[in-house]
Amino acid sequence: MKPRLETVGRLGPAMLRLAVFAAAVLAPATASAATAGAFISVTVPQTLSVGMTSGMSFGAVVPNGGPGEVELSPSGELRGTNVDLIGGGAGTPASFALSGGPDQAYAISLPGTTTIANGATSIRITAFTHNAGTSPRLNGDGSQLFNVGATLQIEQGGNADANGDSGASNATINVVVSYN
């Protein structure tokens, strides 16, 4: 039995070294890892609302024997072609008030054409324009006012009076405002 102990005794330190080496090589390497946080933010602007503060009026308009046209600018200026503007040609653009998130950009969508009938007269309202500019933004307090003008086209015959007197013609338009 003694020879066996001598062999084990001689192999013992070698086996120990082999075991340590195998453990170092075969053991999983400890990976180096790092963690960082990320800040996430989102801004949800206030709901955008729009309300009409005054309606559009072309005033009293009488065609001069044929088709006529009245342009109403967003600033309220009236210009007639082949029509008489009764009462000094007073007109009023439609006015709208917006409320929403401060300094937010928005877009305005206006109708293309609206047609109304008044007896024998066919009246088209076209070329809607606004005075909010090409890249409108709400003010620092989240408000904005803008006006809408248009062109009234009267075909052959009749009178057109948008003030509610005899022969009055009325129409409703939708103005859509949305955040950009």
Q: What is the pLDDT of residues 60-87, one digit of tens each?
A: 887 787 788 999 999 999 988 888 888 7
User: Which structural domain, as residue segments, surrounds residue 88?
Assistant: 49-179
Of the candidates 88, 87, 86, 108, the residue with the CA atom closest to the CA atom of residue 97: 108
Strand 68-72 with 78-81, pairing: antiparallel
Query: Is pLDDT larger for residue 27 or for residue 146?
Result: 146
Indicate if the pLDDT at residue 3 is higher than 90: no
Give me 33's structure tokens. 């890892």
Inside any domain, residue 44: no
Inside any domain, residue 141: yes
Inside any domain, residue 91: yes
96 and 145 Cβ atoms separated by less than 8 Å: yes
Inside any domain, residue 37: no
How many folded domains does the chain comprise? Answer: 1
